[in-house]
Amino acid sequence: MVLVPPDRVSFSVGIETEAPSASQAFRANGSKLNALIAALKEKGVDPKEIQTSNLEITSRDARGKKLPGFRVSNVITVTREDPKTVGELLQTAVSAGANQASGLRFFVGDPRRLQNRGLELAFQDAKAKAEILAGLAKQSLGNVVCVSEVASSGSGVFRNKGYSFFAGDDQRLVEAGTEEVNFSVSVVFELK
């Protein structure tokens, strides 16, 4: 396991609009979304860091009840390399009209850069455990017979040191914490 500060952040923000007709709701929503995207770009978000992640037009609410008009919801996901600015960007999005926010995630963009150190630590851990087991069997550890990397199920586990958002004009930082990136090896030793 290697603990590192995350170097990427991803979050989703969106706008939900209601109007008497689908076309009115769609136009109004598009106008609001364009203003939201423009505000994010003014704060340094590159167009390639913005992606539409959901677009929905409906005449029913979440329970299936008929609405008096239509609802359009458009969500964009921002993924960028600067996690330090996420609090400011979320505040900008809300100030620009976003009425939906979700999916805040901090992560390591390229866990492979940690691979050498991670495998070294995994091997040391495997050896320490094998020495304990050999001692319990009243034997000592011999040569390595076989070693292989064990595929992990994900790039890491998020560990949060704390999380603050904002309230009104009193903006607080969103804390990134550290990212735990796990590496595993399987080692077979001789016993002496």
pLDDT number for residue 168? 43
The number of CA neighbours under 13 Å toward the Cβ of 181 is 22
Residue with tokens 């009425």: 99
Q: pLDDT digit string (tens) for 54-98?
A: 999 999 988 989 999 999 999 999 999 988 889 999 999 999 999
Tokens of 151: 């595929």
Task: With H, G, I as helix, E, B as strand and everything else as coil, classify residue 124.
Answer: helix
Residue type, 133: L
- In order of their start, the domains of the chain are 2-108 (3.30.70.2970)
Residue with tokens 């796990």: 182
Residue with tokens 């001789």: 190
Instruction: Name residue 106's beta-bridge partners.
Output: 9
Q: Which of 77, 74, 69 is nearest to 29 (CA)?
A: 74
Are 54 and 73 in contact, with CB atoms under 8 Å apart? yes
Sign of CA dihedral 168, 61, 52, 96: negative
Q: pLDDT digit string (tens) for 156-181?
A: 443 443 334 443 444 445 667 777 77
The mean pLDDT of the chain is 86
Q: pLDDT digit string (tens) for 10-32?
A: 999 999 999 999 999 999 999 99
Say which DSSP state 118 is in.
Answer: H
